[in-house]
Amino acid sequence: MSRKANPTFIGAFVVGAVALVVAGVVIFGSGKFFTETKRFVMFFNGSVKGLNIGAPVAFKGVKVGSVKEIRLFLDDRDLTLKIPVYVELEPKRITQIQGGGDPQKLLKAKGVSTLIEFLVQEGLRAKLGMQSLVTGQLYVDLDFYPDKPLRLVGAEPGLPEIPTIASSLEELSKTVEKIPLEDLAQKLLAAIEGIERFVNSSELKETVVHLNATVKDANTLVRQVADQVNPLASRLDKTLAEAQKLLSNADSQIKPLASGIGEAVKDTRKLVQNLDSRVGPLASGLENSLKATEAAVKQATKTLASLEAAAGENSPLQYELAETLKELGAAARSLRNMADYLERHPEALLHGKGR
């Protein structure tokens, strides 16, 4: 005869099987059991309010790990409180391109032993980012900031450290803290009090009264101008009508003048054509005259050269002229002597020269 099954034992067995299945799904389904991770530490100077355990660690928006632990401890070197944040990164998130290179050789050539050291040297920094403006939750943002200085605390020698920088919210808070809010508030109150005194001052009231009077005077002036505009408009219409009549008369007189100007232009054109026909013969005659004049000038030049050669310093003509002048001088002296003798002896003309 078969033994009857125990319902309690069967129920416990089913519950245990279900629990094992759920545990397997949680452990193996998440993939954490077989995932290789590396632990790093980061030291943040500011507040980490809103950063919870399990918050993502992202590199340029790609999740590469998560926050595992947040502590607070006292540094006995300078008695300052520091906030270390321990994170686990998944190296498998970075897939190597099969290019045939050896990463370890490249790292040794750079003087580092791990990839994270090389990235830190290239400017890898961590800062807190806003995960949600509604909930205020934070996450760890990894990115390259080569212009930011490398600041390592070194309080955890056994773990590799990733340097941190201030977040945008922290920088904004520091900027707000530097603003002298008290001085600004006092100046604002003083400005408000000055405005209140000015509004309630008697000078402003008098100014408003004068302004009202000025507005009234302006209204009166506008009315007067409006009363005078209508007569001026009628006069302007009459002036325009007279101007139109004048223009029509001028138009009627301009047409005969235009015809006369056209005839004058035609006569001028004919005169220019006649002058053009006569300029050719005159130009040819003038050219012949110039040629004759040029020949005469050349002949005169030759004649002057001949005269210069004949009357030169050593020329025969000049020598003969000098001899002739000498003889004429001698003859003149003889005539002068004869005249003197005849003046003394006039009878010599009749009897001749005596002894």
Strand partners, 63: 58
CA distances from 159 to 140, 153, 178, 250, 323 (A): 18, 12, 36, 107, 142
The average pLDDT across 296-311 equals: 71
DSSP per-residue letters across 7-21: HHHHHHHHHHHHHHH
**Which tokens is 245 given?**
């009549």
Please state the rounded mean pLDDT for residues 291-305.
76
Helices (H), the chain: 7-29, 103-110, 115-121, 168-178, 181-199, 202-310, 316-344, 348-351
pLDDT at 206: 81
Q: For residue 298, give both structure tokens.
A: 């050349």
- Residue 352 above 80 pLDDT? no
Q: Which of 74, 62, 195 is nearest to 141 (CA)?
A: 62
pTM exceeds 0.85: no
pLDDT of 136 reads: 84
Give per-residue pLDDT as tens, 82-100: 889 999 988 777 766 666 5
Max CA pair span of the chain: 235
What pLDDT sits at residue 81? 82
Written as six digits, the tokens of 144 are 């390259």
The answer to whether the CB of 65 falls within 8 A of the CB of 37 is yes
Average pLDDT over residues 141-162: 86
Question: What is the residue type of 334?
Answer: S
Domain residue spans of the chain: 30-166, 316-349
**What integer is the mean pLDDT of 10-27?**
70
